Every structure is written in C-alpha cells, then in structure tokens.
Amino acid sequence: MTDNTIKIIVPNYFSGRRADLTIHTLIPDYSRARIQKWIKKGFVLINNKKITSKEKLTGGESISIKIQVDEQSKYYNPENISLNIIHEDQDIIIINKPVDMVVHPAVGNWSGTLLNGILFHIPDNNRLPRGGIVHRLDKNTSGLMVVAKNEIAQLNLVKQLQSKKVYREYRAIVWGQVWKNNTINEPIGRHPTVRVKMAINHVNGKESITHYEVLERFGIHSYLRCRLETGRTHQIRVHMMHNLSPIVGDPTYGLKKIIPTKDMSDVLREATVNFPRQALHAISLGLIHPSTKKQMKWEIGLPEDMKGLLDLVRAESHIDEKEFKIDKSNFFVGRDDYLEEDLEFEDE
C-alpha cells in the first residue's frame, strides 16, 4: 500500500466472481457498499481500466484501489488524550468515558473530545465515518461506550443497535419516591419551541422505550437501574422528567429549584443544588462481537461523584407514609445559553 493506494493481484480461485465481492473479500475492512461507490467513481482500476461492480474476474488481474477517507474526518485532529480503555481487540474498543468529555467534535467543541483521543490512539480510524463511533453519551453522562476499529465492525454494531441487540444499562439518582418498576414507552423528538431540547413528541417523535427498576427508595430520592431498549437523544433524561422523577443535577431536564422540605438536611440540600452534572452513569454494556459472534458484556462501578451523592442520599430520613411528589411547574423549560453536542447523534 503506497500513498493511500492498495495494489493486489487477484488469486486464480476468484475466477468467475464479481469484482465488488472479490475486492470486499480481499480487503474486508471496507464494506461492499463503499467499494461499489469507489468503483462507480473510478477509484478502483483493474489492469489500469475502470470497471463495473458486476464485472466478472478471471484471476491474475492487477487491482489498484485508491482508499477514500471519510470527508468529515479530514477536519478532526488526533490529540493525545488519556482514554480509560476497558477492553480492546482488532475490531472494537470499550471505553469508560469520563464526565465533562464531549464524544464528537462540533461547534464549540472542536478539540478535547473522545473522537480526538480515539484518532490519536487508533490513527486508522480516520478512514471511518465518525471515526468509528456508533453511539454516544452526553457530555456529562459517564460510562461505557463501544467504538469500532474497522468498517465491517462498525456496520455490524450499527445493525445490532438498530435491532436492539446491544444491552445498555445505566444507574440514575432521581428526585421523588419511585414506588414500582415500570417501562416508559413514549416517543421522543425535538422540543416544539426549544431547539436544543428533546421532548415527548407524539407527532414527530420516534419510538423510545426505557425500562427502569427501583434499586433503593429514600425519603426524597430514588436510585434506579435503567435499561435502554431504544436509543434516542437524551432518552433517559426526557423519560425521567416525563415520569416526574427527574435526574438529580440535570441542567436541562431537571428541577429549576430545590423543593423546600424539612426532611432535607442542609448538607444534602447543598449537595443536590450544586451537583455539577446529571447523576447518570452507563454502568453495563453487552453486545455480540462482530468477528467471533460471541456474546460479550462489561460492567464498571459508579464514579466517585455519584458514590458520594448516593451516600448522602442514603442518609436521608426514612420513607414517609405520604408519597413525596414533584409538580411539573418545578421543571426547567429550557435555557438559551445551553450548548449540547450534535443532536444528530442518537443514544443517551
């Protein structure tokens, strides 16, 4: 391979096979669909001549393929950013994303992102759409993400996400006494008046399903396990707001003021008022490995900030007989200065 061009000789046992299928077999890191596009645009030559995807080969031909880098990736720069790598092999990398890290470069966040770090760690990912990223976490949601290291793995993971085969489990500390396990099945789409927000949208929203389980219930808060069946932008955050159990610290879908109550200590009130991000963490991730086809699963612990908050919440008074309720008037309605990373991405 020279100057981003691959040159290969077609083995004789490929005689009679289509050109696109043969090339895909010989360089499996690139999808058949992408190879077909390259053939159509003249980036693939056989014996120095342009061909069609359906053309049959006889064996012994000289193929020249000019690899085309994803256009968007030309604007992304590798940066030596420390990554907390949980697992890595030739196809995928599992990363524990920290709080305050944007996943993908966008207006206002062109550097310091997870993608910038990935491109430094895996330079070849600059050939892939979105640098191999197949889903995302919000800037201030921590936890597990999978990133593909080649196009075949990326397409496989995207299909698994679309067919709901990827297991994604979260932990959330929320306001309110949540009394029973449940499933929220409410479509999510753009907020009708606040552009940077998402909302329950029965007109233009997409199917959105979140399963949640009460792990612990306290006087004023609850600790939940949330599992995504679908993956929409801000899904858990929007669904928890709709459930009248907004996530502690959420600057967009949380409480605009702390509800006064004699049951809250000054320490807890201070901790919840000043908790610097949504108390949401992607704790577990499961998928079918793109190459081995084996089921794999990873799990990590809570980050220190959520551990500390949970300790304070556990110190609350005992659950009252009267249920602690939250009124819709206590929610944020949106902030003009709120900057969220590219909403084109799906997944919480």
Domains and their CATH numbers in the chain: 5-68 (3.10.290.10), 72-159 (3.30.2350.10), 167-330 (3.30.2350.10)
Q: Would the pLDDT of 47 be above 80?
A: yes
Residue 200 φ/ψ region, left for φ over 0, alpha for ψ in the -120 to 50 degree band, beta for the rest:
beta
214 pairs with which residues across the strands? 224
Q: Would the pLDDT of 333 be above 50?
A: no
283 vs 281: CA distance, rounded Å: 6
Split at pLDDT 50, 70, 90, the class of 5 is confident
Q: In this predicted structure, what is the pLDDT of residue 24? A: 82
Tokens of 127: 């050939």
Task: List, in order, residues 6 or more apart from 25 with CB less than 8 Å away.
Answer: 14
Q: Would the pLDDT of 312 be above 70?
A: yes
More confident residue, 29 or 57: 57
Position 272, amino acid: T
Q: In this predicted structure, what is the pLDDT of residue 339? A: 33
Split at pLDDT 50, 70, 90, the class of 342 is very low
Tokens of 104: 């993908």
Strands 62-66 vs 85-88: parallel, antiparallel or unpaired:
unpaired
Q: Closest by alpha carbon to 154, among 128, 191, 192, 123?
A: 128
- Lowest-pLDDT choice from 14-23, 81-90, 233-242, 283-292: 14-23
Q: In this predicted structure, what is the pLDDT of residue 341? A: 35
List pLDDT tens digits, range 19-35: 998 888 888 767 788 88
Strands 280-288 vs 142-148: parallel, antiparallel or unpaired:
parallel
List pLDDT tens digits, range 151-173: 899 989 999 998 999 999 999 99
- Lowest-pLDDT choice from 101-110, 203-212, 220-229, 258-267: 258-267
Known active-site residue 347:
no
Q: Would the pLDDT of 66 be above 80?
A: yes
Question: 3, 70, 89, 138: which one is catalytic?
Answer: 138
Q: In this predicted structure, what is the pLDDT of residue 1? A: 43
Q: In this predicted structure, what is the pLDDT of residue 334? A: 40
**Residue 283 CA, distance from chain mean position:** 13
Specify the DSSP class assigned to residue 312. H
112 vs 93: CA distance, rounded Å: 19
Q: In this predicted structure, what is the pLDDT of residue 318? A: 57
Q: Would the pLDDT of 109 be above 80?
A: no
Split at pLDDT 50, 70, 90, the class of 203 is confident
Q: Closest by alpha carbon to 196, among 255, 257, 252?
A: 252
The stretch 174-185 carries a mean pLDDT of 94
More confident residue, 318 or 247: 247
Q: Would the pLDDT of 80 be above 60?
A: yes
Position 1, amino acid: M
Split at pLDDT 50, 70, 90, the class of 293 is very high
Q: Would the pLDDT of 104 be above 70?
A: yes
Tokens of 20: 């696109």
Tokens of 17: 């096979």
Only one residue has tokens 């640098």, namely 131
Q: In this predicted structure, what is the pLDDT of residue 343? A: 34
Q: Closest by alpha carbon to 236, among 287, 282, 191, 192?
A: 282
277-294 in b/e form (b: 16+ CB < 10 A) is bbbbbbbbbbbeebeeee
Rounded to the nearest integer, the mean pLDDT of the chain is 86
